[in-house]
Amino acid sequence: MNVVATVRPIVLFYGLVLFGGYACARLAARSAVRHEPVAAATKLRQRNFFLGALFAVVMVLVGVPTGVLAILAQLTEQIPVLGSTAVQDVLFYASVVFGPALLGYLTVSLAMLPAWRELKDIEVSAWSGVRNTTRGYVATVAPKFGLFVLGMTLSPGIAVVVGTAVAYTIYAVSSPWVFERLNDSRPLDADERERLGETADRDVPIRVVNASDVKESQGFAVGVVPGFRRVYLTDFLLDELTATEVRAVTEHEFAHFHRGHLLVRMVVSGLLVVGIAATIAEASAWSLFLAVVVGIPYWLALAAASRWTEYDADRQAATAESATAMAGALDALGEHNLLRREHNVLDALLETHPSIERRTARLGADENNSTSQTETTDSPV
């Protein structure tokens, strides 16, 4: 087999698909930015996700009927170390699934980058766009890809369950290290520590993430092991929010640690990942059907549990700082990040974070209840 002659049409075919994906995504992005900013940002996020996922799948499907499989077979014959089943599986999924899927998603994201530049008034280069998208893809998809491959290489039964559970636990425990590697972060400077006050001296270190090329006001709680946990705040959040609002966001992130939210999410998500891996390893029609029947309601329950943790963290932040500060922070986050204030029915079921309207309304209700109880307690008998 002439490998070079086989590669040329494959590259051409992939190139045509990527060009089509880029053109479609560019048109979709231009259509989105014709709306007002919040609606435009919502449409861009939705179209980026769906088109990115679509062309990722298309790129994978393109590789199956072409000569990629023939090239892999030729390589495994000529290079003995590639002959083992485990290595073949990894090579196949990396070259036919993971790599092409990344190219498809990356192409769509690059096509939408000019629209984000216009919408958020940011000067982000194409290289930064590639880097940011790749980092996000690697952080969210690569671990699942590794677990997927693990499920394919291990024998069905207890081996795949234990192996996947161990791998997922390692991934969850090492998440602060992964976050540090994928993001440009630094310690708080003197001015930032002064704004945070006593909050800066809590038991979990606070670090600042550079978000200059995306203009995102965000806070993250990362890690499940005491002593190896971090709270991250973007520099854009520190610049754009008031001191009380920044402290409220920080208290919200601390609450995720102190109330055990991250551990609960890790365990519940881990059960889902282990179940999917076991289903893949079984590779039977019945197991796939059972996975769909059980997996959908399980995901809805997981999303609902995640939303509850956000409400609970809001409540803890309101107690530590004030409900007004937390509600103001949520309003500011929605404004700066161009987020919708309310979700439709489907999003309300699937999203892991409640809408801003629901969260601020819940904070207002909690504050009113607290005020009523105080007045009742302090009133004369």
**Each residue of 250-293: pLDDT tens digit?**
999 999 999 999 999 988 888 887 777 777 666 666 777 777 77
**Each residue of 113-158: pLDDT tens digit?**
999 999 998 888 888 888 888 887 777 766 666 666 666 666 667 7
Q: Provide the 8-state DSSP code for 225.
A: S
- Give the pLDDT score at 379: 46
Domain regions of the chain by residue span: 3-140, 179-373
CA 30 vs. chain centroid, Å, equals 25
Contact 103, 111 (CB under 8 A): no
- For 271-310, b/e burial (b = at least 16 CB within 10 A) is ebbbbbbbbbbbeeeeeeeebeeebeeeeeebbeebbebb
Residue with tokens 């179209």: 47
Tens digit of pLDDT at every position of the chain (381 positions): 555 556 677 777 788 888 999 999 999 999 999 999 999 999 999 999 899 888 888 887 776 655 566 666 666 666 655 555 556 666 666 777 777 888 888 899 999 999 999 999 888 888 888 888 888 777 776 666 666 666 666 666 777 778 778 878 888 888 888 888 888 899 999 999 999 999 999 889 999 999 888 889 999 999 998 888 999 999 999 999 999 999 999 999 999 999 999 999 988 888 887 777 777 666 666 777 777 777 788 889 999 999 999 999 999 999 999 999 999 999 999 999 999 899 888 888 889 999 999 999 999 886 676 665 555 555 444
Helix axes 68-78, 85-92, angle to 10 degrees: 150
Contact 105, 55 (CB under 8 A): yes
Q: For residue 376, how many other CB atoms are within 10 A of its CB?
A: 8
